[in-house]
């Protein structure tokens, strides 16, 4: 394998792995993939079916599209994380408010009871 093919293989492998880790399926759109014609010609169709994924590469359009999908998924995950944090803050604020009201009632009632029994 020459240097160019190694580079293409490595870039495609890295993008596939990153997409897979985010649960993204890279589309099989026309213009996104190209195949190593030398390998296709040198193996049988049955063998090609077995080694196809090792000899298919993303085109520049496919790489850009995959990077866009990855970026969009990461942004979506960040937004969901922000929403989760905001929800947790609201829950904490609501809990503190409830406890503040309860403690206020208890202290107020204790003050009233002290005032009644002191006189």
Does 114 map to a domain? no
Does 30 map to a domain? yes
Mean pLDDT, the chain, rounded, equals: 88
65-70: Cβ within 8 A, 24+ apart: 65/27, 65/29, 65/32, 66/15, 66/19, 66/24, 66/26, 66/32, 67/15, 69/19, 69/24, 69/26, 70/15, 70/18, 70/19, 70/22, 70/24
Does 119 map to a domain? no
Domain that includes residue 79, residue range: 3-91
Question: What is the per-residue pLDDT across 70-103, written as a single tens digit (0 to 9) for each?
Answer: 999 999 999 999 999 999 999 999 999 999 999 9
pLDDT at 53: 73
Does 107 map to a domain? no
Does 101 map to a domain? no
Q: What is the mean pLDDT of residues 92-115?
A: 94
Residue (of 67, 41, 37, 42) closest to 55 by Cα position: 37
Domain count across the chain: 1
Does 98 map to a domain? no
Does 100 map to a domain? no
Does 115 map to a domain? no
């Amino acid at each position: 394998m020459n240097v160019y093919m190694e580079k293409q293989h490595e870039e495609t492998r890295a993008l596939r792995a990153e997409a897979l880790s985010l649960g993204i399926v890279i589309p099989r759109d026309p213009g996104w993939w190209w195949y190593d014609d030398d390998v296709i010609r040198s193996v049988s169709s049955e063998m090609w079916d077995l080694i196809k994924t090792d000899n298919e590469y993303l085109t520049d359009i496919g790489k850009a599209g995959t990077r866009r999908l990855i970026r969009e998924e990461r942004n979506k995950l960040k937004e969901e994380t922000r929403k989760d944090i905001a929800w947790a803050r609201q829950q904490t604020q609501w809990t503190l408010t409830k406890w503040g009201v309860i403690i206020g009632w208890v202290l107020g009632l204790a003050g009233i009871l002290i005032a009644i029994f002191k006189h």
